[in-house]
Amino acid sequence: MDAHTPVTQGPLSVQDPGHCMALVRHTFGRLPQESLIVIGLLRGYTGGHMRIDLPPALQDPFTSARLVADCLAGEGSAPTPEAALVVLIGEGPVTPEQDDVWRACLDALTMMLDSEYCVRIVQTWFVSGDHVRDPLCTDPGCCNLPGRRLSDLTLPHLGGPLGAGPGRETQPLDRAADAFLDGAPGADPTLTAYLAELRRGHPEGRDQHTPRRRLYAWDLALREQLDSARKSGNQRKSGSQLMDPAARAERLTELLGQLRSGSGRDLLIPLAALSLDHALLGLHLDHRAREVPAVIPGDAAEEAMLQDCAKSFFGETGSRPDWRRVDALESVLRELVPYARGPERENLLCLMGWIEWVRGRGSAAGSYVDRCLTEFPQNQFCQVIESLMQFKGVCLWARVKQHSWSWSRNSMADPD
């Protein structure tokens, strides 16, 4: 950890490793492990940024460089950066062989960004083990292997906890599912008893709540999370926690009931990413399709909404989703963890995998996919997410800068 007190100061210098480590930590909320990070620069300001896993980038540097270049400066990247900062973060020990492999990755990225998009890499930092170095520095007293110790850096304070130093993240993204499940609130024994009674009175498959009512309950839960976040800055608290145990149990049965089927699970995607109206239309059309095969929407507006519903699964609506509602969906799912069982837990893990994939966090999405397929090997939803990550790579919402989750978090703009 940093032995120095972080200082608040003026403009950052990309030539200062402490400044760059602070920027990476501020951008990603941590100093990620095993990562290739590229941050766009335009007229002295940081812009779009991307993180991919380092091992695949080292194994196939040109394919990875193409992916990074297209996302950072290709179609949908406006405003396009004029320069870039590159940071490679991996494990030690630092060796000449590691240095050669990392330099090959940097060369591929340099060539792709410069030749395809005229984006110049103005600074690179290699962070290996507990050391950081500039691979292009010619000063033998500065950046010879292994480089400077991270603990010797002074980090400016860019927001967040003052106690955070330049060290690594405590929880890597490829263990996101474990962190999510382990960090969920514990089960309330009184609430668990009420739920058990309700389950005995209404066995699975004989849910007393209508599908429409369950969607309204979910929409209310999302809105409560948003209201709670605006008032307290903590999305883990919700208005439902003010209810008595019996009422809370009734609410939970409504929410869990939506997770007992794949069709119910799938409707939560447009509900969160788009709106309640989109989800209700999808529900209405699903019921009509069961009665009249190949049914189509009644008018052009409905057809457009239905197409957006379908495209929301793939993150290909062509506009920014409502990321605040997507974040609220994660918060509600977290509250359900101690009470979800069987297909409820299965579909909860599916939705978390989808959330992380559309956010552009492939490692985190992969952790949920792996967890779900370990517990439920036949799950087709996660098999589809796994295929999307393999063949489509980064979700289109994440690839288009102004539609992305990370851009939305920084801009706090309303959805299109």
- Residues 209-251: tens digit of each pLDDT: 689 999 999 999 999 999 988 876 444 455 555 677 788 888 9
For residues 200-215, give the mean pLDDT: 71
For residues 124-141, give the mean pLDDT: 89
For residues 340-358, give the mean pLDDT: 97
Please indicate, yes or no, whether the overall pTM of this predicted structure exceeds 0.95.
Answer: no
Give residue limits of the domains in the chain: 17-157, 177-411
State the alpha helices, DSSP H only, in 118-209: 176-182, 189-201
Report the amino acid identity of residue 156.
P
Q: Which residues contact 355 (CB under 8 A, 6 or more apart)?
A: 326, 329, 330
| Topology (CATH level 3) of domain 17-157 | Cytidine Deaminase; domain 2 (3.40.140)
Share the mean pLDDT of the chain: 84
- Please give the pLDDT value at position 8: 36
- Please give the pLDDT value at position 174: 78
pLDDT tier for residue 262 given thresholds of 50, 70 and 90:
very high
For residues 83-112, give the mean pLDDT: 94
- Please give the pLDDT value at position 226: 93
On the question of pLDDT at 168 being above 60, the answer is no
- Please give the pLDDT value at position 399: 85
- Please give the pLDDT value at position 294: 47
Of the listed ranges 144-158, 202-216, 230-244, 369-383, the one predicted with least confidence: 230-244
Percent of the chain at pLDDT > 90 equals 52
pLDDT digits over 177-197, tens only?
A: 999 999 999 999 998 998 888
Higher pLDDT, 366 or 287: 366
Sheet holding 45-53, edge to edge: 45-53, 35-42, 83-90, 120-128, 131-133, 148-149
Residue 304's H or E segment, with its range, is helix 300-314
pLDDT tier for residue 9 given thresholds of 50, 70 and 90:
very low
DSSP-derived pairing of the beta strands 45-53 and 35-42? antiparallel
For residues 348-363, give the mean pLDDT: 95
On the question of pLDDT at 117 being above 50, the answer is yes
